[in-house]
Chain A
């Protein structure tokens, strides 16, 4: 009998006792080490990687993603989920383009931001007061918003003729691209909000243990809803940048952005289950994925493998997160 018991097929090799610590360290600093290794490898492997123009190119290309992902980090840490960011980027870009055409660039950006904030507020209300799960709630609003965008544009392009609007996406200030400066400021602000303010503490508490936060007197629903507003605002800004970059706006902009954003957040080591994570992690995560794609191009590798590599990296990041948590008793 004992032999049967011993050879029985209960196997849980990973989250047991001593293994937990190294896995925790992996989650904590895995992205930093991976980032450095990849950066050094690419610098050595390709002459074109470590050049100002290539790095600036990566940053400028990733600016909209970084902005949206930084705000998305707050949503995730608060225990939420925002799938609608790609759709908001599209609609906000269209609104921006239309207002730029009708009035002036500043009003256009303001209108884009307002659109994003309003849509984010809608998401926030639906998922808190409306009690719809964030996943399903923002999945629904994704369709609603994309549909609205098609309706507004009648399926066509909105072209921006005002040349001064191009500054946001294409111009330079002090020798650096404007979009990078805007991105750095936004990401820095969001990082500060999460890491150093009472609001940030509330976000960690709400995502980490909702009932504990509630009993401690934290306004759980307001904090959760407000992270969606920030996410909408960030998507609005990203929409304006993208519209400025290509001088047009259309309903099919930023399709799939939500997945790129989510991938960056997870690869950075922010827990998909809420309550743990940081904006700097997301920055590293997004740039890590961007560097891989950049590497494929620079080294002339077959782009077919690009998606496969990306998928494997995301899977590894999520698994490390799951293993580093104590198994539910």
Chain B
């Protein structure tokens, strides 16, 4: 065999580049997917052109990642059809998708850190000589071609653990190409990259498309999408809004398409700022081993404060440091004016601080136990006599709270894992409310819940503040930072870099600070 192997594994003939761009690579027809009560995808129709960069945008929870996972075979749709190069396929695993030439570059890379770049690229597809001996020379030749294609300038012997994140991503892309993938799905590839690395990655993406590989590019950085995409699909609440050429879109038009509704209707009216500025929570120069670097803040009773920042800026770490002293090396916390020594979640609870953790599944709920048991978990002493749980008061307490949160009352005895994401979040919030906290720390309070539940969670945070609690919430959703709080704090690298008052909070101001001195693709000024 001496024929050159074409990059695309499909039988399509190698026509002119023009012809290739116009041919359909993948076509989805009314693809739907439902997760535990949340409709992640609703009858999506989508056509992806061969050799193009197809961007997908949408809010968090709009279904972008689910769509990407359907394409790479990690998620099986409940309904609908997928055609690759005109033929119907049904992927039951990522392996099936790879056989059809489709693979993904995950947010968390899956490389073997202690092995060389070469070994990682050809892992599982090593060229072999007789008796199973690995053909090093042959692999080195192919490696050079692949490295050229993605612009990797690292020797093949280098160990992956010594590589920068951007180079590791390139290794991952080379691995995809070495497996003869002709469609690569990128899911938020730039989320953890610096500005320079991002530019290089976008360059690589263009390069891939230029050599005939189709790219699906999922991102919420609209500037990147406009810069790199040929076409863009907007998703909202799991439904397809529109797919158009990126040249016909602007950042503003994308945002409008993504939100599809006015922010005023989504967010309840902000309550007036508390008149008396009695500090409910005071944090004085707190530093942690987890990267928080001398953060001080003060939140008044009845005030709602938003905490913004990129992934890795230390939002969760700050909330945990306040709630349980996690990793704290220095600094002090006072609640309602009196200093507190907080070394564990128990101390935090006793001091009147409640935490709504980021991950319901990992940090919040006992999925196999009932909703009511989950609600009362933090306050067992309150429903027990002589250490024996009084079922009747347990049910009464749980039912009262859960009704306040708008969860159907009859369901409190079913395992919490069978409830929808929104209802699970309400159960967790109910647990926080049971503590009657002076301070509520909420980490991504609306992550993975549907629009209706979001609205009631906003209302709940507001009513809690109206009752006198200080609310500090961290959020990745810029609209929440813009619309909900009286004040926004912007974290970057473990420090509060900006404090924006209501009225002065804008997406531009927040992102500029969050991204640091050289804003991504934006003008400095």
B355 cross-chain contacts in A, Cβ below 8 A? 215
Provided the pairs A1-B100, A215-B324 are in contact, do residues A6 and B369 lie with their beta carbons within 8 angstroms? no
Q: Judging by beta carbons under 8 Å apart, are B380 and A201 in contact? A: yes
Digitize A1-41: 1 where CB-to-B-CB distance is under 8 Å, 0 elsewhere. 11011101010000000000000000000000000000000
CA–CA, A6 to B381, complex, Å? 56
Contacts of B367 in A (CB 8 A): 208-209
How many angstroms between the C-alpha atoms of A4 and B367 in the bound complex?
Answer: 38
Q: A322 on the interface (CB 8 Å rule)?
A: no
Q: How far is the CB of A227 from chain B (nearest CB, A)?
A: 16
Quote the shortest CB–CB distance from B328 to chain A (angstroms).
16
Contact B99 A5 (CB under 8 A): yes
Q: Is A216 positioned at the interface, with any CB of B under 8 Å from its CB?
A: yes
Instruction: Please tell me which one of the listed residues A2, A198, A208, A209 contacts residue B380 in the complex, with CB atoms under 8 A apart.
Output: A198
Q: Give the chain A neighbours of B431 by CB distance below 8 A.
A: 216
Taking A198-B381, A201-B389, A275-B368 as contacts, is the C-beta distance between A10 and B93 under 8 angstroms? Answer: yes
Contacting A5 at CB < 8 Å: which of B10, B96, B324? B96
- Contact A209 B389, beta carbon cutoff 8 Å: no
Cβ-defined contact, A197 with B345, below 8 A: no
The answer to whether A173 has its CB under 8 Å from any CB of chain B is no
Q: Is the CB of B87 within 8 A of A2?
A: yes
Q: Whole-angstrom distance between the alpha carbons of A217 and B379 in the complex?
A: 9
Q: Is B88 an interface residue (CB 8 A)?
A: yes
Q: Are A215's CB and B345's CB within 8 A?
A: yes
What DSSP secondary structure best describes chain B's contact surface?
mixed
Using A197-B389, A216-B431, A217-B349 as known contacts, say yes or no to A5 and B100 having CB atoms under 8 A apart. Answer: yes
The interface residues of chain B lying within 8 Å CB-to-CB of A189 are none
Query: Does A308 touch B at the CB level, under 8 Å?
Result: no
Pairwise interchain contact A198-B363, C-beta atoms closer than 8 A: no
CB distance from B13 to the nearest CB of A (A): 15
Contacts A201-B377, A201-B380 known; A1 to B389 CB distance under 8 Å?
A: no
One digit per residue, 1 when the CB lies within 8 angstroms of any chain A CB and 0 when it does not, for chain B 106-150 equals: 000000000000000000000000000000000000000000000
* Most chain B CB atoms below 10 A, which of A1, A6, A205, A219: A1
Given contacts A2-B88, A209-B366, A217-B349, contact A197 B95 (CB under 8 A): no
Tell me the smallest distance from the CB of A55 to a CB of chain B, in Å. Answer: 32
Given the complex, which residues of A lie within 8 Å of B258, measured CB to CB? none
Residues of A within 8 A of B417 (CB): 326
A264 at the interface (CB under 8 A from B): no
**Is B366 within 8 A of A205, CB to CB?**
yes
The answer on a CB contact under 8 Å between B389 and A10 is no
With a cutoff of 8 Å between Cβ atoms, the chain A residues found around residue B387 in the complex are 197-199
Among A4, A218, A219, the residue within 8 A (CB) of B377 is A218
- Please tell me if A202 contacts chain B, counting CB pairs below 8 Å: yes
Instruction: Determine whether the beta carbon of B377 is less than 8 Å from that of A197.
Output: no
**Do A209 and B362 form a contact, CB below 8 Å, given A5-B100, A197-B389?**
yes
Contact A10 B368 (CB under 8 A): no
Residue pair A6, B90 in contact (C-beta under 8 Å): yes
Q: Is the CB of A1 within 8 A of B366?
A: no
| Distance between B303 CB and nearest chain A CB, rounded to angstroms | 24
Asked if A2 meets B95 with Cβ closer than 8 Å, knowing A197-B387, A198-B389, A215-B363, the reply is no
Counting CB contacts under 8 A, is A213 at the interface? yes
Q: Which chain B residue has the least Cβ–Cβ distance from A3? A: B87
B199 to chain A, nearest CB (A): 33
User: Does A132 make an interface contact (CB < 8 A)?
Assistant: no
A196, A198, A204, A216: residue with the most chain B Cβ atoms closer than 10 Å: A216
Q: Give the nearest-CB partner of B366 in chain A.
A: A208
Nearest-Cβ distance from residue A119 to partner chain B, whole angstroms: 25
Chain A residues closer than 8 Å to B84, beta-carbon distance: 1-2
Please encode chain A, from 181 to 221, with 1 for each CB lying within 8 Å of some chain B CB and 0 for all others: 00000000000000011111110110011011111111100
- Across-interface contacts of B377 in A (CB, < 8 A): 201, 205, 212-213, 216, 218
Count of residues in A whose CB is under 8 Å from the partner chain: 30
**Complex interface: chain B residues within 8 A of A197 (CB):** 384, 387-389
Return the contact of A212 from the options B87, B91, B365, B388 (Cβ within 8 A). B365
Interchain CA distance A216-B95 in the complex, whole Å: 40
A1 to B25, CA, bound (A): 13
Closest chain A residue to B365, Cβ basis: A212
Contact A216 B87 (CB under 8 A): no
Q: Is B448 an interface residue (CB 8 A)?
A: no
With contacts A197-B387, A215-B357 known, is A276 near B345, CB below 8 A? no
Q: Identify the closest chain A residue to B384 (Cβ).
A: A198
Complex: A205 Cα to B84 Cα, angstroms: 47
B291 at the interface (CB under 8 A from A): no
Within 8 A of B (CB), among A205-247: 205, 208-209, 211-219
Q: Enumerate chain B residues within 8 angstroms of A205, measured Cβ to Cβ.
A: 366, 369, 377
B residues within 8 A CB of A218?
A: 377
Q: Which residues of A contact B93 (CB under 8 A)?
A: 8, 10
Query: Is residue B271 within 8 Å, beta carbon to beta carbon, of the partner chain?
Result: no
Q: A1-B84, A5-B96, A198-B380 are in contact. Are A211 and B368 (CB under 8 A)?
A: no
User: CB-defined interface of B79-97 with A at 8 Å, one 1/0 digit per residue?
Assistant: 0000011011111110110
Question: Please, how many angstroms separate the alpha-carbon atoms of A275 and B369 in the complex?
Answer: 9
Q: Map CB proximity to A onto B360-376 as digits: 1 under 8 Å, 0 otherwise.
A: 00111111110001000
Determine how close the nearest CB of chain A comes to the CB of B378; give it in whole angstroms: 4
Q: What is the distance, in angstroms, from A6's C-beta to the closest C-beta of chain B?
A: 6
Of the candidates A10, A212, A217, which one forms a contact with B346 in the assembled complex, judged by CB atoms under 8 Å apart?
A: A217
Contact B389 A275 (CB under 8 A): no
Which residues from A are CB-within-8-Å of B89?
1-2, 5-6
CB<8 Å pairs between A and B, sample of 5: A8-B96, A200-B389, A201-B377, A211-B362, A213-B366
Other than the known A8-B92, A197-B384, A217-B345, what 15 A-B pairs have Cβ atoms closer than 8 Å? Answer: A1-B87, A2-B100, A8-B93, A8-B96, A10-B93, A205-B377, A208-B367, A209-B364, A209-B365, A211-B363, A215-B323, A215-B355, A215-B357, A218-B377, A275-B366
Residues in B lying within 8 Å of A, measured CB to CB? 10-11, 84-85, 87-93, 95-96, 99-100, 323-324, 345-346, 348-349, 355, 357, 362-369, 373, 377-378, 380-381, 384, 387-389, 417, 431
Contact surface of A with B, Cβ cutoff 8 Å: 1-2, 4-6, 8, 10, 196-202, 204-205, 208-209, 211-219, 275-276, 326
Counting from the closest, the 9 A-B pairs by CB-CB distance are A198-B380, A10-B93, A208-B366, A2-B87, A10-B92, A216-B378, A217-B349, A217-B346, A198-B384
